[in-house]
Structure 1
Amino acid sequence: MFGCVLPGKPVLTNLQQVDETHAVFYLGHPAEINHICVFLLGTVPFPDGYAATVHMHWPGRGFQLLGMLSNEKPSAIFRVRGSFSGAGQAAFSAAASSDPSDFNAMLGLAIEPLAAVQEQCAAGTGASSSALTKQLDPTALAERIVKHLFNYLSSFATSGSAVTPETYVPMGAITKWYESFLAKIKAGGTGFLEREEN
């Protein structure tokens, strides 16, 4: 029912069914994973009113919610690099460098009622909420949001005349930024704001 691709690797076929509603992919060399693509194979759709949450399990960190798949959204690409805290990353990297084959990450899929899946994703639990929302105070988060807006709008700025050296931005650009920003928040929480700082 599910497929998984890591960039530069062949399609993973090692899906292990845990029970009727849970399955996992075992992922070797987790320190090398930056992005992961998960998709429905198209052979068996979800039953009406059901979808799947997608979770990543890092050694020593447990499962973290990445997002969801549904019949309306049959595939998704998740950035997983940087979705765990710095302290965990240091320990994880040290352990992985000793013998990467001994430390597998897992990609977990849980089939649940659509309403429950949407609620979990909206709550932004696990990796979706990111260490950013746990570590940043509201002022720092607001600062990153404003910086994101400024960087986006800078590409639309036009200069005034020689008489008025002011810069102008079309109102439509602000609307586009707002819609795009909300879509990113809904899809994966605020983690993208932290990644843009790197």
Structure 2
Amino acid sequence: MFSILIAGRLPQINFQQVSETQFVIPISDTDHVNHLVVFMTGQIPFPENYGGGGNWPSAEGPSWIFLGKITNVKPSAIFKIGKIKDVESQIGSSLAPTLFSGFQHQTAIPTDGLLGISVEPLSQLDQQIQPHDITPSTVASNVEFVSKMLNNFVNYVTSFVQNVPGTSEQIVPLSIVQTWYNNFQRRINENPNFWK
């Protein structure tokens, strides 16, 4: 169902199923791996309203760091793993959800790393947060965020436009801008991915 691709290597499909909904694949020589591509092979789709969460084992215990997701609609993703050790040393393992609890970081194949995929409802995957600086920060993603934020701002604010009597000028009360800002801050604190 899944495969991974690391630059300079052949695609790998040797995922091991460790539970009904959890799969792992060993990755060797992770010191020379910055990014890996995870993709569905197209042979078996996810059940409706389900997707796969990519996870990397935390160095500090049996918990895992959420890297991102793949779905039937978005069947591939690039995960940045090169900075995980640096980020972990700065933020600790508190961000890592407890997944694959029955699976110890052991495998018969020599490995430096292990990628896990957990099949979960999309609603649960959407609530998981990727640690800062682990996922690739792409210009396209930043542009999409800014575009959606500004469209939301303009649509909200222009619905409160008032004409200035005797002129062709239009104004928006500052309190409207402040209300939009407060609402946006609240929503992004509740779910950083709400804008998607």
Same fold (TM over 0.5): yes
Offset, 1:59 = 4.5
Larger Cα Rg: Structure 1 or Structure 2? 2
Unaligned runs of 5+ in 2: 91-108, 151-191
Correspondence for 1:178: 146
State the AA in 2 paired with 1:110: S
User: 2:120 pairs with 108, 112, 125, which one?
Assistant: 112
Closer, same or farther in 2 for the Cα pair 1:175/1:41, shift >3 Å?
closer
Distance 1:113 1:30, change over 3 A: same
Question: What whole-Å deviation, never above 9, does each CA across 1:28-70 have from its counterpart, x for those lacking one?
Answer: 1111110000001001111111111101125456421100011
Cα deviation for residue 117 of structure 1 reads: 1.0
- Match of 1:21? 21
Which amino acid counterpart does residue 112 of structure 1 have in structure 2?
E
- Specify the code of the residue in structure 2 equivalent to 1:19: S
The TM-score with structure 1 as length reference comes to: 0.55
Looking at structure 1, the residues matched to 82 and 42 of structure 2 have their Cα atoms a distance apart, in angstroms, of 28
Task: Please give the residue correspondences for 1:143-162 in structure 2 after superposition, counting only pairs within 5 Å.
Answer: none
* Cα gap change, 1:26 to 1:75, in 2 (>3 Å): same
Q: Which amino acid aligns with 1:72?
A: V
2:131 match: 129
Shift, 1:88, TM fit: 4.2
TM-score normalised by the chain length of structure 2: 0.55
Please tell me the residue identity of whatever aligns with 1:21.
T
What residue in structure 1 maps to residue 98 of structure 2? none
Whose helix proportion is higher, 1 or 2? 1
> 2:48: which partner in 1?
48
Q: Please give the alpha-carbon distance, in whole angstroms, between the structure 1 residues aligned to 2:74 and 2:123.
A: 15
Take 2:81 and 2:23, find their aligned partners in 1: how far apart are those partners?
Answer: 19
How many angstroms apart in 1 are the aligned matches of 2:133 and 2:34? 17
Instruction: Output the amino acid matched with 1:8.
Output: G
Work out the number of aligned pairs and report it: 128
Tell me the equivalent position of 2:77: 76
The alignment's C-alpha RMSD in Å is 3.4
CA distance in 2, matches of 1:60, 1:175: 35
Q: Deviations over 1:148-171 (max 9, x none)?
A: xxxx9xxxxxxxxxxxxxxxxxxx
Amino acid of the residue matched to residue 179 of structure 1? Answer: S
